[in-house]
Amino acid sequence: MLLVVEAILTYAIIQRVSYTEIDWQTYMQQVHGVLGGERNYTKLQGDTGPLVYPAGFVWIYSLLCALTNNGTHVRRAQYVFMGIYLATQALVLMIYRRARVPPLVLPLLVVSKRLHSIFVLRLFNDPVAMLFAYAAVLSMTRTGIRRWSGLLLSLGIAVKMNVQLLLPGAAFVWWRTGGLRTTVVQLVVVALSQVVIAAPFVYAFPHEYVARAFEYTRQFNFVWT
């Protein structure tokens, strides 16, 4: 029922609230560089700055570029992100159910103005990364699909490096549920899948790719806006 309400509400927001251009055009410019054959991350730029996201971001936004007429059909992109939003909410609801969160808390998921804005009015890459991250968290709660958690988490990291912050907790779960062997196997899966996803860039310009996609020297400041 909550997802139905969310679908109606999110659709209404798309129809009635103006889209705000922040990074979408920059994302499109960056992926156009890759689609044009460029593999050197230091040469991939957009109006608001250089490409600083891992290769998974490039491939997903390249697909979005194709689906939206080279990024010009923004409304279509908003509908895609509406689907991502509803899928993410479904995952979160399942996680809450597994955690036995009181049902009275669940409606709070619907009323976040900030979430709707990030997903369907800004088209940031955070929602895509967190879709995979929440899928990984849910898989860790289910014995039958726990073996996929490392790959799912890696897909999130491949979109935005901040998903790496979940790795310590994930490693603890792997260790508690499968011991050292399981932990090592899952970490190897995470590492190898990163190489596979970024293969064209790692093969051509490995240093440039790692330095930009996983730039740990960057400083992040929290500023209330």
pLDDT at 32: 96
pLDDT at 106: 86
Paired tokens of 45 = 């730029």
93 three-state secondary structure: helix
pLDDT at 219: 67
pLDDT at 222: 61
Report the C-alpha gap between 54 and 210 in whole angstroms: 8
pLDDT at 213: 94
pLDDT at 162: 93
30 close to 36: Cβ distance less than 8 angstroms: no
Report the C-alpha gap between 175 and 149 in whole angstroms: 13
Mean pLDDT by 10 residues, the chain (225 residues): 91 94 95 96 92 97 96 96 96 93 86 91 96 97 90 97 95 95 97 97 96 82 62
Q: Mark residue 134 as left, alpha or beta (left: phi above 0; alpha: psi -120 to 50; beta: remaining).
A: alpha
pLDDT at 196: 98
